[in-house]
Amino acid sequence: MDGILNIRKEKGFTSHDVVAVVRRILHTKKVGHTGTLDPDAEGVLPVCVGKATKLADIIMDGKKRYRAMVRLGITTTTEDAAGEVLEEKPVDFDEEKIRQAVAGFVGEQKQIPPMYSAIKVNGKKLYELAREGKEIERKARTITIFAINIVRFLPPDRFEIDVDCSKGTYIRTLCSDIGKALGCGAHMAELTRTRTGSFALEDAITLGELQTMADEGRQEEAFLSMEAALSDFPKIIVSPKSTKMLYNGGRVYAKFYEAEKELTAGDIAAVFDSEHHLVGLYEVRDEEGFYIKPFKMLI
């Protein structure tokens, strides 16, 4: 069983809980998720099974999209509704000021990750240190907010945003930073991940639905193939003459493969053998002629 499940994580589950349930339903150990969602958050959580676990980091690198509820006037220890209240301030709910503040966060920027996060420092996760009452200096990380749209205003103290962003973006930190920009503080009251790469919420299934499909012997219907998951990558088909070289992880020069579009050095392509079996992701290189070299083997 090799492929990706587009799971709709429900509130109350950790990402590891989801993996454990999938393992139990499918009776297989080789299962991994593609990016943590906090227990109080819900939405898209692609889960890789079998050989597809090799694609977890590729899927994790994809753009993300979220729907979040911002609550103004209250800051918390965790920057979301699960934390303890740190401070409360009066809110001047001015829609135009909110629009201006939100617009200021579009683009590439530095974001300091929250203490309550799974980032490791000296082998220890930040949230473990936070639970011990410790706070340490965190390095700001470069993230990109491609777009933020205000979905609706809910006076006197809430508004909902739709965020299109790069991997590594903490939406609760974004909500907190918006509150700082408005001078009243804020936290993230609700969060739904609506997209990870090509995996969309409208196509996702719950763990309960997966269980029903498995009970009926239809679990294969839930899987997206590795080929489909890599559909955004350019495609290369290698000639029969170079099949052995391909499977041995050697160089395959351009005259022995056909690419669906013109590629340049540094491009990553999904490579198939002459019988259209997926072999892996390969990097295009140019050293005395173009060739491809393994980036991630999937066989």
286, 277, 285, 283: which is closest to 296 by C-alpha? 283
* Cβ proximity of 52 and 33 under 8 Å: no
Active site residues per annotation: 38
Reading the block at residue 38, the tokens are 């906090």
206, 151, 219, 181: which is closest to 6 by C-alpha? 206
166, 154, 193: which is closest to 40 by C-alpha? 193
- Give me the count of residues in the chain: 299
- φ, ψ for residue 15, nearest 5 deg: -65, -35
- φ, ψ for residue 159, nearest 5 deg: -155, 155
Reading the block at residue 239, the tokens are 């000639």
- φ, ψ for residue 85, nearest 5 deg: -70, 130
104 torsion bin: left (phi>0), alpha (psi -120 to 50), beta (else): alpha
H/E element holding 45? strand 42-49
Q: What is the dihedral of CA 122, 124, 128, 129, to 10 degrees?
A: -10
Q: How far is CA 231 from CA 31, 130, 169, 197, 207, in A?
A: 21, 41, 24, 11, 25
d(CA 168, CA 143): 7
